[in-house]
Every structure is written in C-alpha cells, then in structure tokens.
Structure 1
C-alpha cells in the first residue's frame, strides 16, 4: 500500500525518521505519486514547509471536521 495511505491534509504527525525525527508537524500537502508529504514543523521559529517520505511520519491526530 502507498506510504501516504491514511494521511490527510491538516493531520498532526510526528516525524519518525531523518533529521527532523521526533518533531511534530501539521500536514500541508500530500503527493500521492511520489508518496511524499509536505509538513510544517511546530517547533520551527519560522514555519518552513519541508517534504518528507510518507513512511517517515506517523499520524498523531486526525483533523476533526
């Protein structure tokens, strides 16, 4: 299954691999074709969108509609 399955824009995720491991972020955009997600880190002084592989994030919270 694609790595981005179950991830939606607005979800709160934790980065579980790479240089931002342990950081919490909000999902901004999802690229189904590349299986990547663009997230914005909460801890960053300036909100910078970073793109990580879909299997490098774990969903903590779903957006409540």
Structure 2
C-alpha cells in the first residue's frame, strides 16, 4: 500500500514545559506501533505549550496522542507551512556589534550589567565582554543574543 502523499501540520496542545518529554513519548509510540503516516514532530522553542506534528491526517494524530500524559488535545485547524518554515529556518544574525561598543546584558547570570565589547565572533555568535560593574577586571564570553547595544563606539 502506498503511503498517503498528503502532509499537513497539526498543533498539539501540551502542558507548558513538557513539550520535549511529550515529543519523546510520541516518538516511542510511533516506533513501537509501526505508524508510518507521521513524518515529523517539531518542538518549536518559541512556542511554549505546543508541538507540531506533520502527518497524513488528523485521525493519525488522534491515534498517537490518545492516553499520553500532558497532552491537552489538538488545536483546531492546520498550521500553515509558511509558519513552520519561519520556525525552523535559521534567521540571519545581524546585530551590528563592534569592538568598543557599550552593551547591557539582557539575560543570564550577568543580566542588567553594563559591559564593553572586547571581541565578537560572528561564526559562533558569541561576544567577549568586559563587565564594567565588577570590582576587578572580568571578561566573559556569552551568546550575542543576550546583549543589547546601549552606545556605539
């Protein structure tokens, strides 16, 4: 029997914070029952409380989620493919950070502290900072998305 060529994306409502564990349970159920009409399970990091399942139909999704703990049901309607592509495509990192810029750390253990950029590695997406509010010279390397430019050099 030929597999169905229809591929739709369905949003599954789950308990917040349990997205990854539910995805693993769904994967195990799919493998053990030999269900070949589920093509992917997406755990979007920006969408808390939801999983996206790519399947041939809602009947397959209902079959795999029935009885799974932390699953709250299927969200009505389909998730458009363009939304999925926006979730999974790599966004170009374009913060114009240069050595000497003044920044504020917006997350992590140094949140709220002012710092000066000592170096920027665009390949790895990391920035080397000199924390100005410490009593001694303190250099840290953190992801560039954890800083916000305050003043250009």
TM-score, structure 2 as length reference: 0.39
| Structure with greater proportional helix content | 2
Note the aligned Cα RMSD (angstroms): 0.9
SS in 1 for 2:145: helix
Does the alignment pair 1:40 with 2:117? Answer: no
Higher relative contact order (CA 8 A, sep 6+): 1
Counting strand residues as a fraction of each chain, which structure ranks higher? 1
Gaps of 5+ in 1: none
Extract structure 1 runs of 4+ deviating beyond 3 A: none
Q: Which has the larger radius of gyration?
A: 2
* Aligned pair partner of 2:142 in 52, 55, 59: 52
Please, which runs of 5 or more residues in structure 2 have no aligned partner? 1-91
* TM-score, L = length of structure 1: 0.90
Aligned residues: 62
